[in-house]
Amino acid sequence: MSDPGGGRPPILPWDEPNRKLVANVHPPGWRNPEPADSYHLVVVGAGTAGLVTAAGAAGLGARVALVERHLMGGDCLNVGCVPSKGIIRAARAWHEARGAARRFGGPEAAGGGDFAAAMARMRRIRAGISRHDSAERFQGLGVDVFLGPSGGAQFVASDAVEVGGQVLRFRKAVIATGGRPAVPPVEGLEEAGYLTNETVFELERLPPRLAVIGGGPIGCELAQTFARFGSEVTLLDMAPHVLPREDADAAEVVQRALARDGVTLELGVEIRGVEVRAGEKAIRFERGGGADREGQAGEVACDEILLSVGRSPNVEGLGLEAAGVEYTRKGVSVDDRLRTSNRRIFAAGDVASKYQFTHVADALARIAIQNALFHGRAKASDLVVPWCTYTSPEVAHVGLPAEEAREGGLDVETVTIPLADLDRALLDDEAEGFLRVHLRAGKDRILGATLVAAHAGDMLGELCLAITAGVGLGKIASVIHPYPTQGEVVKKAADAWRRGKLTPFVKRVFGWRFEVLTRFGV
């Protein structure tokens, strides 16, 4: 019998929604099945990558075992996408209520909201969603589900995994063990205590002052959310601006939005240490220091510290040496077909990808199934990868960033349309942002696009399809888009690109034609 929390509740608070969640994704009384003599596929880790692999393989008739040491659904369901998007939505509602009078002549909203209620709403929704990832559902799909112990599964040979004393033999296996929050070696941090994505969604009381360390997507999303809930938030990062992997103009829009929402930005700083003084935490930092000169010292006092400085892959304690699977600090080493150094074993999801997103974990799982079970030749590098940071406004990107395209030796042409050109964006009071499309110069081939808009993630699908299907802006220009929508920005970019294709000579020819028609009274 498994015990996901090692005697403690596996997730807090131990209320009705969380009990329901755990009843689905790690039922307390779960009894692991008697293992089959051999499995076509053993999947280690039941986050998105593991669940999609197991369900897909079982659906194709394979004998599949799925092993999870903690909560099925992994980070996305339990401590990632789902809870974060739940509270982002609540914080946006609070923010809009506060701005309704000023922006729309609406009723005045005064006072703070009920943070505990916003968190409880998230927990209720998460518990409902957890049905899809439940042990019972996967058992019903024909998957042998093995849960616990907290040490997890371990490879004991090149074709065998051990879980809680049971040995599962396999023809093929997929490692889908994901990652965990990275913790920087900062003096005093352990003693002071900190939150990560694994604990921040357990909060029931709003921290009056929150310091967020790390200005990547998770840091920006949560800094803005907590500021909108009413925390006094400071965001610290070594980089000179937030979202360093995004288009610099897009990152600038988000940075301005964070500042407007009350987030204090301490960028380009090196954190020197953390101290606890009179019940508060003080983060010491330095700005502008170097090897040979002292920088300017600064300090942030706060009640809670939230770490969001990146992810570490879960490769330890997995017995990868026993299985002959090579790995590095960055994760399990795989080739383009997701094969590890052991030809029986594949890896998918965050543990083996530089793109750490749920939809990529899903896409990689599908590649792993084809290649592991059907000697397929599907390649990870063929994927057209979108992603989105769910700040207000959102920043969504698909395909190659312009810099990468240029570094790859491609000549790039760029079209940018400000959102303020869209009637609907103005009417919605959501005109801050832009669409930027990168094309191969002289060709109607879209290489990548960045969209900054209130609902950029939802609007990006058209460009994902265009790139995947090889549809160019010329074709998009001939597609009728409903008016007034913010989605029209894609068509506007296509029209602008097409107009730019009219060479001065073609324009002159058109001019002569119209002159001739006028002269003959036509």
Ligand X SMILES: Cc1cc2nc3c(=O)[nH]c(=O)nc-3n(C[C@H](O)[C@H](O)[C@H](O)COP(=O)(O)OP(=O)(O)OC[C@H]3O[C@@H](n4cnc5c(N)ncnc54)[C@H](O)[C@@H]3O)c2cc1C
Contact set with ligand X (CB under 6 A): 44-50, 67-70, 74-76, 80-81, 84-85, 152-153, 176-179, 197, 218, 314, 318, 349-351, 356-359, 361, 390
Nearest CB to ligand X, comparing residues 254 and 439:
254
For ligand X, give the closer residue by CB, 45 or 448: 45
75 in Cβ contact with 384 (< 8 Å): no
- Distance CA(386)–CA(254), nearest Å, equals 18
Which residues does residue 212 pair with via DSSP β-bridges, in sequence order?
Answer: 235, 306
Residue 119 CB, nearest distance to ligand X (Å)? 14
In the complex, the smallest distance separating the C-beta of residue 503 from ligand X, rounded to whole angstroms, is 42
Closest CB to ligand X among residues 56, 74: 74
Answer yes or no: are the C-beta atoms of 221 and 258 closer than 8 Å.
no
Q: What is the DSSP letter of 32?
A: P
Give me the least distance between CB of 472 and ligand X, in Å please: 27
The torsion region of residue 7 among left (phi > 0), alpha (psi -120 to 50) and beta comes to: left
Residues 457 and 475: their CA atoms lie apart, in Å, by 22
Can you spell out the DSSP letters for 349-375?
SGGG-S---HHHHHHHHHHHHHHHHS-
d(CA 283, CA 187): 10
CA 51 – CA 168 distance, rounded (Å): 18
| 41 touches 64 (CB < 8 A) | yes
Residues 6+ apart with CB under 8 A from 310: 181, 182, 214, 216
Structural tokens at position 196: 């990560």
3-state secondary structure 285-297: EEECCCCCCCCEE
The answer to whether the CB of 459 falls within 8 A of the CB of 396 is: yes
Q: Work out how close the CB of 173 gets to ligand X at its nearest, in angstroms, rounded to a whole number.
A: 12
Nearest CB to ligand X, comparing residues 194 and 497: 194
Q: How far is the CB of 216 from ligand X (least distance, A)?
A: 10
Of the two residues 236 and 439, which places its CB atom closer to ligand X in the complex? 236
Kindly tell me which of 179 and 215 has the beta carbon lying closer to ligand X: 179
Q: How far is the CB of 148 from ligand X (least distance, A)?
A: 9
Q: What would the DSSP string read from start to end of 312-349?
A: EE--TTS-HHHHT--EETTEE---TT-B-SSTTEEE-S
Nearer to ligand X, 81 or 100 (CB): 81
Question: Of the two residues 235 and 477, which places its CB atom closer to ligand X in the complex?
Answer: 235
| Choice between 2 and 473, CB closer to ligand X | 2
Q: How far is CA 252 from CA 226, 237, 452, 457, in A?
A: 20, 15, 11, 18
At its nearest, how many Å lie between ligand X and the CB of residue 26? 9
Could you write out the DSSP letters of every residue in 205-246?
Answer: S--SEEEEE--SHHHHHHHHHHHHHT-EEEEEESSSSS-TTS
Choose between 332 and 439: whose C-beta lies nearer to ligand X: 332
